[in-house]
Amino acid sequence: MSMVDQSRGPGRVLRRIGVGLVIFFGLIVVLSSWYTIDEGEVGVVLRNGAVQDVAGPGLHFKTPLIDDVVTMSTRTEKLDLPQVAAYSQDIQAAELYMSVNYRIVAGSAKEIYATLGVNFADRVLLPTLLDRTKAVFGHFNAPTIISERTRLVAEITDSIRQAVADNGIIIESVQIENIDFSDAFEQAIEQRMQAEVEVTRLKQNLEREKVQAEIRRTAAQGQADSTVVQARAEAESRALQAKAEADALRLKGEAEAASIKAKAEAMNTNPQLIDLIRAERWDGKLPGTMVPGGALPFIELERSGNR
């Protein structure tokens, strides 16, 4: 009886172990048959290592133990480059502190993973960024880089976008936080900028002096014109006054001449008018001194034969 119980004991244990293993593997199969993808990510489904499909955000199912899922972010990512050595067109060495914001196209995740893997940024984006930055930087001379930094960044951005566009990578922006030239060159640039500022200031002063001189010349010209007008008006006034006086004298002379002529004609036609005038002008007094043979004022009286 004891031997039968002993023989049954190990078999029962093995059966229990087997059932436990079946349940364990069943749980593994069940749990590994579904997966979730978060927002801002896509899942690249691999079957025995080969790319099969791309899954979007949400709950999905897969074949257990055969399929695998690799998630890839479609959010905007940032790649920092703390030191990028480059040379300008005029052979000035510089170090750039820059970064790039990028993201992948969700529909291109399958091709990106198949050709570049999850480390596509290090394999493609980083080398392209370094190469295009140095190439574009070398087309600018150092003073232009300082004065037209915005144009430099825009051209670098366009160049990188064209280079990675076929890979399904979108370059959103490129930032250059700092451009560090040598100390000697930066001092030379500062002195040059100060000289340009001084030249600009002198030019502005010269233009201001020209404007002020023009204002003074215009004012003087206006004053001279006013003086000329005033003198001309005074001359015309004097001329008119002289003409009026001449006309008055002429009219007076003509009047006197006419009067004399009238008197002469009256005397010729009436000789007694002379005696009348004398009588009108005589004051009734005889001269105190008589000159022998001299004429005396007199009035002839008509004598009547009857007197």
List Cβ neighbours of 54 (8 Å cut-off, separation of 6 or more).
Answer: 42, 43, 44, 45, 106, 107, 109, 110
pLDDT at 271: 63
pLDDT digits (tens, 9 = 90+) for 54-67: 888 988 888 877 88
pLDDT at 272: 63
- If you ran DSSP here, which 8-state letter would residue 57 be given? S
pLDDT at 158: 95
- If you ran DSSP here, which 8-state letter would residue 107 be given? G
pLDDT digits (tens, 9 = 90+) for 68-95: 889 999 999 999 988 899 999 988 899 9
pLDDT digits (tens, 9 = 90+) for 287-300: 666 556 555 555 44
pLDDT at 205: 87
Question: What are the distances in angstroms from CA 180 to CA 6, 94, 252?
Answer: 86, 5, 103
pLDDT of 106 > 60? The answer is: yes
Element of type H or E holding 167: none
pLDDT digits (tens, 9 = 90+) for 148-159: 999 999 999 999
pLDDT digits (tens, 9 = 90+) for 187-224: 777 777 778 788 888 888 888 888 888 888 888 787 77
Could you tell me which residue, 280 or 130, shows the higher pLDDT? 130
Average pLDDT of the residues of the chain: 80
